[in-house]
Amino acid sequence: MNRPNSPISAARLLGALLCLMAPGAAQAAEPARVLIFSKTAEFRHDSIPVAVAALQRLAAQESLAVDRGEDASAFTAANLSRYRAVVFANTTGDVLDEPQQKALEEFVGNGGGFMGVHSAADTEKEWPWYGGLVGAWFHSHPPGLQTTRVVFESGAADAPSDWTVTDEIYNYRSNPREQVTVLATVDEDDYEGGTMGEDHPIAWCHAYSGGRAWYTGLGHDAAMYEDTVFQAQLRRGLRYAAGLAPEC
């Protein structure tokens, strides 16, 4: 048996230290990452900086590293492979070209997650695959902000029974309920300008094309991001999109 201070024991100790310092060990310790993307080609929301900051804080609470930006050149297969999820935070219009669209399709197809906030539904309106990913496209909204009760579907984790919000409430081109798991609806009796009737989904999630997608129609107004209930919803969306939780 070798004594603790023998040359062989010292060599073994040095080898172990070198293994811990090796690139592979450092890479294994790196946190999971998400990409927050907020490029706009049409209307630009004043709330984008607040939305991005809130998402960064919530991601940090889940030990998720964050990259954020508006450069669509980030959408390559090689670069997206670094991420667990991509968040479209109040994007609008055509923000990706065809190769970039293909990269996002491959990312989701390989098990990646997508999270859309508010006008993510007013983005890439001529790209059918993206419409399926988000779940429904924006159609219209009443003027100004609307005050309405948000009604959570049964089984929604930690959801309050009565939550009233003041925000811009979208009408969608279609009701996504048959394709997604609806998490919450709004009550059109509370305001004027709703066009979807008694069943007006405002948040949902679903498995899609090999990956996961989560969407909320709330988040137009900067004040929404100070609401603790909305923060909790966004945090659950991040967890689901990033694959940290099986339920959304």
Q: What are the pLDDT digits (tens) for 207-245? A: 999 999 999 999 999 999 999 999 999 999 999 999 999
* Rounded Cα distance, 60 and 68, in Å: 13
CB 203 within 8 A of CB 216: yes
Query: pLDDT tens-digit profile of 156-204?
Result: 666 787 899 999 999 999 999 999 999 999 999 999 999 999 999 999 9
State residue 155's pLDDT score: 64
CA distance 55 to 39: 15
- The residue type at 169: I
The model carries a pTM of 0.88
pLDDT value at residue 177 = 98
Strand order in the sheet with 113-117: 65-69, 33-37, 85-89, 113-117, 211-216, 201-208, 181-186, 146-152, 163-167
Q: Which element (helix H / strand E) includes 201?
A: strand 201-208
* 165, 195 contact by CB (below 8 A): no
> Which residue is it, tokens 């991005």?
52
Chain position carrying tokens 């706009």? 40
Alpha-carbon span 157 to 240, nearest angstrom: 12
- Can you tell me whether residue 171 is helix, strand or coil? strand
Reference 108, options 228, 213, 231; nearest CA is 213
Distance CA(123)–CA(146), nearest Å, equals 22
As a whole number of angstroms, the distance between CA 233 and CA 216 comes to: 9
